[in-house]
Amino acid sequence: MVDRLFSDRDLAALYDAVCAGRPDFAFYLPLVMSARSVLDVGCGTGDLLHQARAAGHPGRLCGLDPADGMLEQARRRTDVEWILGDLSTTHWDRAFDLVVMTGHAFQVLLEDEEVRGTFAAVRAALTDEGRFVFETRDPAARAWGEWTPDRAVEVVDATGAVVRVANEADPYDGGDRVSFTTRYTSPGWDGPRLSRSTLRFLGADEVTSFLAGAGLTVEAQYGDWLRQPLTGTGPEIITVAARGRGQEKGATRP
């Protein structure tokens, strides 16, 4: 089931404002611009592909997302291909030079079979020289410790109303999954709107093992958006993988 913050059209319309200033696009956008054909898995509001087309990308740009609320925002730009669904409902054969999963979309894959199926579908979609780039939060950084109401942000919706957005993580039980509630409140509403989410936190070795099982080879892994090495303390595990090629000299591992 798609989380309410993605499926609800009003909440989805707030997503880009809540994520304003996100640092990952400075990393991903040059990769997109250098690839002839790009698939953005879990594209959300499509902001990355919007920016690529606005910057003059001449080739195929395709966004895939299971949330119709998010795709309603994405479809404001019509010169990009938008598909409602996920990699279990679609299939491509060597169609894309680059596949990306941004915004920690990888972490919604909660079960091993979901990860295996996603990676197998990504490999099938890649051209022989294609690359797969995605990120997950390093569990060692314990990002959920900052998902507290006192770190709420305020954004303005399409009517000019101020909306307060706050996350509150459930008590951590020591596993690889963290659940949390996102609460949206606004003075003009009858009451708060709540969305429940669960994310999975896998380490670099686990990610690499799943990739290898799908026939994908790690070219590099980074610990932040400035391409610093993995340190084992986070905040990110950013992975560049290829379809069956050997690991390149200089690839960064823990």
With pLDDT > 70 as the criterion, what percentage of the chain qualifies? 96
Peptide bond into 235 cis (omega under 30): yes
- The CA distance from 32 to 10, in Å, is 29
- Contacts of 23 by beta carbon, 8 Å cutoff, 6+ apart: 225
Give the pLDDT of residue 233: 83
Q: Could you tell me if 163 and 10 are in contact, meaning their C-beta atoms sit under 8 angstroms apart?
A: no
4-139+201-243 CATH choice from 3.40.50.620, 3.40.50.150, 1.20.1300.10, 3.40.50.1370: 3.40.50.150
99-122 mean pLDDT: 98
Question: Given a cut of 80, is residue 198 above it in pLDDT?
Answer: yes
Confidence of residue 245 (pLDDT cuts 50, 70, 90): low
Question: Given a cut of 60, is residue 41 above it in pLDDT?
Answer: yes
Return the axis-axis angle of helices 112-125 and 204-213, rounded to nearest 10°: 60
pTM: 0.94
Question: Given a cut of 60, is residue 253 above it in pLDDT?
Answer: no
With pLDDT > 90 as the criterion, what percentage of the chain qualifies? 93
Question: What pLDDT digit, counting tens, does each position of 77-104 carry?
Answer: 999 999 999 999 999 999 999 999 999 9
Confidence of residue 232 (pLDDT cuts 50, 70, 90): confident
Q: Could you tell me if 14 and 34 are in contact, meaning their C-beta atoms sit under 8 angstroms apart?
A: no
Full 3-state SS string of 208-219: HHHHHHCCEEEE
Tokens for 26, please give them.
Answer: 């400075």
